[in-house]
Each structure stands twice: as C-alpha cells, then as structure tokens.
Structure 1
Amino acid sequence: MAKNSITQNSVVGELSAEFLGTMILILFGNGVVAQVVTSSDKSLGGHDSIAWAWGLGVTLGVYVAARLSGAHLNPAVTIALAAFKGFSWRKVLPYSLAQTAGAFVAALIVRFVYADLINAMDPGHTYKTQGIFSTLPGNGAGPVTIPTAFFDQIVGTAILVFVIFALTTAANNAPLSNLGPVVVGLLVVAIGMAWGANAGYAINPARDFGPRLASFVTGYATAFLDQHGSVYFWLPIVAPIIGGLIGGALFKYMIEGFLSTATGEDITVSEPIENR
C-alpha cells in the first residue's frame, strides 16, 4: 500500500509539473504575442521579441518541470520519447492532457489580462487577434495552403525533437543538465526565426489546442477554422506528432545507433526513473 501511495504521489507530481511548466511557457508565448498585436507602440516588440519570448518561455517552463517530469511540455515530445526513449506509454495520455490543460489555463489568463486591449482593437473577436492564441496558415495573412502548412509543421517539429534528443542523450556529449533548458530555449528561438512564416511554428499540439479552446470559450467563434473558413485545428495536432516521430527516428537510427562505436562505450539506457 505504501509503495502504491508513493507511486501515485509521484505521478501526481509529474502531471503537476507538466501542467505548470506548460502554463509558464504559454504565459510568456501568448503574452508576448498579445502585447505585439494589440499595441501600436512598435518599441514594445515585433517578430524578434516574439521569437525570443517563446524561447525564454520554453527555458523557464523546463526549469519549472524538469526535476519532476523531465519537462516534456509538448505531446509530440512525449510521444516521441515513448516511441524511442523508453518513456511509459501509459503516461502519454495523462502527460498530454496535463500539458494541454496548462496551456488552456495560461491562455485564459492572457485573454482576461489583455481583454481591454483586445476588445479595443478587435471587438468582434476575429482573425485580427486570433493569432494571439493559436496558429493559422501564413499567420492569417500569407497565401499559404493547407498542404504547405502541414509539411511545415512536420519539418519544424522534426527539427525540434531531433535536436532535443541530441541535447539530452548523455553519450552525445550533451550540455550539462542545468544548461540544457537554455539550449532548448535557443532551439525554439531559432525555429521561430527560421520556420515561422508558413504556419506560426506551433510545433506543439498542446501549445496550439489549449489556447485555441480557451479563445473559443471566450468569444472567438471561428477559433477552430482558418482565415478561409476551413477546419484547421487538427493540423497543429497531427502534423507535429508525425514530425516528432520522424525527428526521433532520425536521431535514434542515424545518430544514437552509432554512438557506442564512436565513443567505445555501452550507451544502453537503464529503465527511466519514471517507469520504476
């Protein structure tokens, strides 16, 4: 009974960490977009400030959650870890729900804190401010097709997961654990600066769907559609999961499989702590 209680408490702690870590990520991510979109003062930021704040949000969210849960903060990462790194499949759904709930709550906070500015700029709650919370093809303006946006999200998330695996595999000369969150944050900054035009670099189903749902329940009637009226909410869920699996497979079979030969060491990983 005591062992079961300890296990239960451990899982609750992991889910709490995923919830709060993702919440911190979205508070900074949605917050900076809200500031840029609703302000006429260009000194308050633009594309670069958005990219940097998202990256810093990732860094801070990882610092919040890493000790308890490993700080996935992203269902695409969680699924890739289960597929290629021994993470327990039974925890994939609870982790994903906790991440999505954290993103939802954070988006609600941003929505209410910025309500006056949003209402002044966009009283009808249209695509003009929908991008504060969720992504759109071409960021709601560019002539980007659904297939292009889909492929873009696969590529962006594949890069994300591939490099995360590289940064967290000890045999790959990974950065020290206390520096890892900073490097992962810089990775997200780089993805935002290089892969942000086609689909807003959601690269995270929870990051997109949680805030999208929050915007829907607070007045954005077309939250699940793109600017052309097509159902769009599924794309930043499905494409990142596919991309994450591709990125994880590329690292697993094209890098990690050769590390023992390169280092002369056995890189077999023991069962993850969370599975014990």
Structure 2
Amino acid sequence: MRSGPFDHAASQDLELGTTEALQQHAARSVRAHKPVSQRKLDFERRRPRWLRECLAEAIGVFLYVFPGVAATASFMLNAANPLGVSPFGGLFQVGCAYAVGIAFAIITCAPTSGGHFNPAITLCFAFWQGFPWKKVPYYIFSQVMGAFVAGLVMMGMYWPQIQAITAAFIAQGQPLVGNASPAAILSSFPHPDQTNLGFVVMTEFFVDFFIGLIIWACIDPANPFVNPSTVPLMIGLGYAAMIWGFADITIAANMARDLGTRMVCAIFFGREAFTFMNYSPIAILVNIPATFCATALYELLLRDSLTSIGQGHAVHEDGEEGLQRHFSKSVLTDDEEMRRSQAARRQEISKMG
C-alpha cells in the first residue's frame, strides 16, 4: 500500500522541522538576561545572612497568613450581612486560601531560610535535623512578627467593614470577642458550649499531629512519592484538609499564626483576646508537643536513613568506613538468623522422625 503524505516518517520530519523553527523564533524573541555586575555581587555578599533568613521567615508567614485571614474576613463579614447570605463561600474558601498561601510562601522564601514558617517546625528541625539552636529564637520571633504584620494589614484593608460589623455587635449588646464575633476574623475562639477544654486540647493536638506528619513526610528526600516541585502544594493541602475538617470546632494549627494575629486582636478588641475561656494557651502552645510527637513517630518508626544514604541525600557520620561496618553487622545478623532458623527446622524434623 502506498504511503500517504502524513505517514510516520514524514510526520517525524515535520515535527522536527516545526520544533527547530519554534526554537529559532524563541531565540529571536527572548532577550538575554542582563549581565550580573560586580557591584551587585558585592552588595549581595555584604548582606547579613541572619537578617536575610529572618526576613524570609517573616515574609513567608505573611504570605500564607495574609490570604488566610483575608478569606476568613470575607467569609464572616458577608455571612453577617442583613440578608443572611454569604456569596463568598465558607470554610472551603478559607482552607484553599491557606493552602495556596503556604505554597506561595514555600516557593518564595524557602530557598533563603529553609521555609520553616512555624515555631514547632523550627524546634523539630533543631532537635532532629541539626538546625543551629542559636537561630531558633530569631526564627520564632520573625515568624510571629510576620503573622502580626499580616493581621495589621488585613485590618487596615477591611477596616470600614470591620467597623460596621463591630458597631452592629455593640448596638445589639453582643460581645466583640468570641466565636463568630468580629475578633474571630483574626483569632480562633471556642464555641460557648465547648466548656470541656480537654476535648479542645485533643482536637488541636491531633490536627497539629496530622499536619506535622505530612510536613515531615514531604521533606523526606527518600520519599519516592513526593518530588521537590510538589512539596509546597502537598503541605498546603495537608493544612487545608484540617481546616476543612475541624475549623468548625476550633483549631489554631500554628503558634506563630495564632500568636501574631492574636496580638493584633488584642490591640483592636481588648485583652479578652487572650483570656476568653482560657483558650489562648491551648491555641499557642499545643502545636509544639503535637508536632514533636508527629516528627518523633516519623523519625523513630518510618524514616529509612539507609535509603537516604543510598540515594546520596545523606552520609554516615563515620563516612564510608562506618557504612561498611554497618553492612558487615547486618550480614552477620542475617547469617545468625539463618543458622537459628535452620537449627529450628532440624529440631522439628527430628521430632517428627
């Protein structure tokens, strides 16, 4: 049968020619980057490393807290309108805002600071991964300040609407601090019927445990199911999943996010932001032991350091010599187990005989 004009060979030639033409067009249309000047290199070399890292942590927290609290404001202010209609979604919208914000924060700032954005994660990095303990206070301070600035900026942008809803609450004799109140735009507060704080602690603990475990799994270089380009979105979705599932029964999920915005809340709505139902210590502190337990579970039971070494992501503390000793011990242990198994089988056979 005679081949047509679009047989396999001809189509390959056509594709090849089109590809070359497109590459030539792109080369003509795209300008080369401006050469890097020595002045720029000297300026970047003089920048203090600690300052860059602290600013990156603050900016990263800002980048995910700002859209999160803005989405919360949009949801709550529209839900409280006179018609009782909220055209701007609900907890799903808030969860998506935090997820996308976390992804943007990691993409933007993690190359500079490592992308902790959470005091609990910073402490776990110091304990498990060798992050310098002297940097921990600077990182935590920067993270809290990032959330604080995000809360202030959001209040400024929504100030007329927040003033209006605050005036309505005052006119109706309703408290300004509490669940579904103006203060709840910035900080989480328990429902009036959540008087059992032990239950609130349990909810916060397991939510933070879940998020910590997801983060630790995502940043494990030996994990074959996550590559670096998908880590920001996966961590963001882990955070969003907990908002979708448990925000309705009060969660905080990050010490920096809660403490920073709670300070803004106290500025505008009074000290009750920290004293309401004795909840603020739960929101601020439970995240740390919960995240530590999650990372301990991963480090002690799930991590495979030998795979990390084999893939070139880590080295043995004693170098190749230490690795060889480990393999020799493993072989001896396997041989010993085989000998014991063979001896047990011989005993069974002798008993049957």
Q: Structure 2-normalised TM-score?
A: 0.68
Q: Which residue of 2 aligns with 1:173?
A: 224
Say if 2:57 is the partner of 1:18.
Answer: yes
> How far apart are the structure 2 equivalents of 1:78 and 1:241?
10
Following superposition, which runs of at least 4 residues in structure 1 exceed 4 angstroms of deviation?
Answer: 5-8, 261-267
How much does 1:259 deviate? 4.9
How much does 1:6 deviate? 6.1
Decide whether the 8 Å contact of 2:187 with 2:258 is kept in 1.
Answer: yes
Say if 2:301 is the partner of 1:254.
Answer: yes
Percent same amino acid at aligned positions?
Answer: 25
Structure 1 residues 93 and 174: alpha-carbon distance in aligned structure 2, compared to 1, 3 A threshold? farther
Say if 2:237 is the partner of 1:186.
Answer: yes
> One-letter code of the match for 2:217?
A
How much does 1:132 deviate? 0.9
Decide whether the 8 Å contact of 2:102 with 2:232 is kept in 1.
Answer: yes
Say if 2:174 is the partner of 1:135.
Answer: no
> How far apart are the structure 2 equivalents of 1:233 and 1:32?
22
Structure 1 residues 70 and 239: alpha-carbon distance in aligned structure 2, compared to 1, 3 A threshold? same
Decide whether the 8 Å contact of 2:67 with 2:101 is kept in 1.
Answer: yes
> How far apart are the structure 1 equivalents of 2:121 and 2:200?
20
Root-mean-square deviation (Å): 2.4
Say if 2:105 is the partner of 1:83.
Answer: no
Structure 1 residues 160 and 87: alpha-carbon distance in aligned structure 2, compared to 1, 3 A threshold? same
> How far apart are the structure 1 equivalents of 2:307 and 2:154?
49
Q: Which residue of 2 aligns with 1:28?
A: 67
How much does 1:91 deviate? 1.2
Alignment of 1:225-244 (within 5 A): 225-226=275-276, 230-244=277-291
Structure 1 residues 249 and 8: alpha-carbon distance in aligned structure 2, compared to 1, 3 A threshold? farther
Structure 1: stretches of 5+ with no match in the other structure = 272-276
> One-letter code of the match for 1:101?
M
Worse overlay, 204-213 or 80-89: 80-89
> One-letter code of the match for 1:77?
I
Decide whether the 8 Å contact of 1:162 with 1:251 is kept in 2.
Answer: yes
Q: How many residues are paired up?
A: 260
> One-letter code of the match for 1:134?
S
Q: Structure 1-normalised TM-score?
A: 0.86
Decide whether the 8 Å contact of 1:166 with 1:174 is kept in 2.
Answer: no
Say if 2:248 is the partner of 1:197.
Answer: yes
> How far apart are the structure 1 equivalents of 2:286 and 2:89?
29
How much does 1:194 deviate? 2.2
Flag the structure with larger Rg.
2
